[in-house]
Amino acid sequence: MPEIERLPENKNALFGKYELGRILGCGAFAKVYFARNVQNGQSVAIKVINKKKICGTGLMSNIKREITIMSRLHHPNIVRLHEVLATKTKIYFVMEFVKGGELFAKISKGRFSEDLSRKYFQQLISAVGYCHSRGVFHRDLKPENLLLDENGNLKVSDFGLSAVKDQNRHDGLLHTLCGTPAYVAPEILAKQGYDGAKVDVWSCGVILFVLTAGYLPFNDPNLIAMYKKIYKGEYRCPRWMSPDLRRFLSRLLDTNPETRITIDEILRDPWFRKGYKEVKFHEEHFGSSSWMKFDEAEKMTNLSAFDIISFSSGLNLSGLFDDPDSTAEESDRFVLAAPPDKLMERVEEIAKVEKLVVKRKKECGVELEGQEDNFGITVVVYRFTESLVLVEAQWRGRDGVNLWKNRLKPQLCAATSQETDSQVACD
């Protein structure tokens, strides 16, 4: 059993209230623990976010958004946020404990029957429709973010910063650490802007396909090839799918967001309505604005899977889909297939050749300066998936932009491409 973090001032109880237990999941920036409320015996899950680890990553905006959203959602099929606590170094999300674990774990063992898939899908749509009616769009729906309670009911989780289980899976199905591009709608890839409700519906369609087929509808070891399949809507239904389900999936996975089925239309569809019972509940209104205050000076950069794909120039998707690309005047973002530590080593090697002064910036990036401090370049690396990273560069001074665009970035991309057979582009 992994070692459990505990606060020194209370041997077993966090804030004198919660007794931490086993680790349920962990990722680069957060750990999720099982815990018990010592005052009433209630079981909860507590997400512990280390402020030091997210310093400089721009993820504070995700945390703020998750608190705001989850504190205002109360639905039987959505994980409930009980309260948020904080110390100088950590943030604690106290959430409903969902005993059954991830839906991902179950589907990894094999596909579901059509009836069971329909049950889960009905609950998913109930939760998603509820969110949409309140102006909330999840944008990262996938089996890893869907939990099951002890009664087998689905619960939507992770409205912001995800807690990712630190497990290696070798079954060839849905491998992901921080959100897989396989669930991204085609309009995201085309960089045309997107309707949050429509992209959620697309993701729900991919989830339904996975539940009934046991594998992803759009998959390819080459990222760009997979994006092409998504953009063109190229998938095949297995022979065991019923004609009604195939028809329904074609409406969900319609590449045209304007004609894609809506939530209201889903609720009226014959395949969906079979055995459907509308979820009825008494909604409680509660807020979180007084729970805690964050440092407003924190840099805000949204790093959801959708935003990385939408704004990253490195995938060079504009060439595939005839959409003009754009890059901010003082910053640049692109995706590379390389381990973060190796990539940072390469940055430092290139900087040394270019005779730049290197100042390490914690674990996530480096600051580079000219010999006379007349220009500077900051390079930060974020893990996107198990094999991909997002590189973000910012600069000051004319020499800084020239050095980055004409020498540092081309050398970095060329050096990285020599070490991998990935065809992820670099502009």
Instruction: State phi, psi for 94 to the nearest 5 degrees.
Output: -100, 110
Contact 140, 158 (CB under 8 A): yes
Q: Is 140 a catalytic residue?
A: yes
Q: Count CB atoms within 10 A of the CB of residue 410.
A: 14
For 50, 139, 178, the CA distances from 303, given in Å and listed in that order, are 17, 12, 10
Question: How many CA within 13 A on the CB side of residue 377?
Answer: 28
Contact 332, 312 (CB under 8 A): no
Residue 297 DSSP SS3: coil
Contact 125, 266 (CB under 8 A): yes
Strands 30-37 and 18-26: antiparallel
Instruction: State phi, psi for 146 to the nearest 5 degrees.
Output: -115, 125
- Dig out the tokens for 104 from the structure: 């991902």
- Residue for token pair 């000076």: 297
| Of 115, 140, 149, 427, catalytic | 140
Q: Starting at the edge strand that comes first in sequence, how are the strands of the sheet with 43-50 ordered?
A: 13-14, 18-26, 30-37, 43-50, 90-96, 81-86
Contact 390, 382 (CB under 8 A): yes
What residues are annotated to the active site?
140
